Chains A and B, each alone.
Chain A
Amino acid sequence: MLRSRTFQIVVPALLVMALLPLGVGGYILGLLTLAYYYAVFAMSWDLLFGFAGEVNFGPSFLIGVGAYTAALLNHYWMWPIPACLVAGAIAAVIGGAVLAVPALRLTGPYFGLVTLVAVLLLQNMLVLFAGITGGEIGLDLPDVLSIDDSTNYYYALAFMTVSGGILFGLSRSPVGLILQASGQDAIEAAALGFNVAKHKMAAFCISAFFSGLAGAMLIFYLGTASVGTVVDIAVGVNVIIAAVLGGRRTIIGAAVGAIFLIGAGEILRPLGQLSTFVVSAVALVVILFFPSGFMGRLLQSGGRE
Chain B
Amino acid sequence: MLALQILIDGFAISSLYALGATGFTLIFGVSGVLNLSHGAIMVVAAVIAWWVAGTFGAGPYLGALAGVAASLACAFFTYRVIVRPIQNSPSIPREEKEIFVLTGTLLWGIMLQEAIAYLFTNNPKTVRPLVEGVVMIAGVRTPWNEVLTAVLSWAAIGLLYLLVNRTRTGKSLLAASMNPRGLTLLGFELSNIYVLVWAIYGVLAGIAGVLLGAFLGVSSDNAGVLTASAFSIVVLGGLGSVPGSLFAAYVVGYLETMTAYLISPSIRTVPVLLLLVAVVYVRPQGLLGRR
Contact = CB atoms under 8 A, between A and B. Distances in A.
Interface of A: 53, 55, 102, 106, 109-110, 113-114, 116-117, 120-121, 124, 127-128, 233, 237, 240-241, 244, 248, 272-274, 276-277, 280-281, 283-284, 287-288, 291-292
Interface string B233-252: 00100010000000000000
A121 B274 contact: yes
Contact of B280 (A114, A280, A284): A114
B59 interface: no
A178 to B, nearest CB: 19
B117 interface: yes
Nearest to A285: B107
Contacts of B115: 277
A287 B104 contact: yes
A185 B89 CA distance: 22
Contact of B117 (A116, A120, A273): A273
B235 A277 contact: no
Interface string B95-111: 11011100110111011
A126 to B, nearest CB: 12
Contacts of A292: 91
Nearest to A240: B103
Contact of A106 (B103, B106, B277, B284): B284
B118 A274 contact: yes
B114 A117 contact: no
Given A124-B273, A277-B111, A117 B280 contact: yes
B86 interface: yes
A63 B43 CA distance: 30
B114 A291 contact: no
B270 A128 contact: yes
A185 B92 CA distance: 17
A116 B228 CA distance: 9
A280 B273 contact: no
Given A283-B107, A284-B111, A288-B104, A113 B280 contact: yes
Q: Which 3 pairs across A and B sit closest by C-beta, in order of nearness?
A: A277-B114, A273-B118, A284-B107
Contacts of B108: 280, 284
B219 to A, nearest CB: 14
Contacts of B182: none
B2 to A, nearest CB: 23
B280 A120 contact: no
Contact of A124 (B82, B100, B269, B281): B269
Contacts of A240: 103
A291 B87 CA distance: 12
Contact of A288 (B86, B96, B277): B86
Given A241-B106, A287-B104, 16 more contacts: A55-B99, A109-B239, A113-B231, A113-B276, A120-B273, A121-B273, A124-B270, A127-B266, A233-B224, A237-B110, A273-B118, A277-B111, A280-B111, A284-B82, A287-B86, A291-B100
Contacts of B118: 272-274, 277
Contacts of A233: 224, 228
Interface SS, A side: helix
B91 A291 contact: yes
6 contacts: A102-B280, A114-B281, A128-B270, A280-B111, A287-B103, A287-B107
Contacts of B57: none
Interface of B: 34, 81-82, 85-86, 89, 91-92, 95-96, 98-100, 103-104, 106-108, 110-111, 114-115, 117-118, 224, 228, 231, 235, 239, 266-267, 269-270, 273-274, 276-277, 280-281, 284
A127 B96 CA distance: 34
A124 B277 CA distance: 14
A277 B98 CA distance: 23
A53 B82 CA distance: 24
A124 B267 contact: yes
B117 to A, nearest CB: 6
A282 B66 CA distance: 29
Nearest to B285: A110
Contacts of B270: 121, 124, 128
Contacts of B235: 113
Contacts of B239: 109
Nearest to B103: A244
B114 A273 contact: yes
A303 to B, nearest CB: 16
A284 B224 contact: no
A127 to B, nearest CB: 7
Contacts of A102: 280-281
Contacts of B228: 116, 120, 233
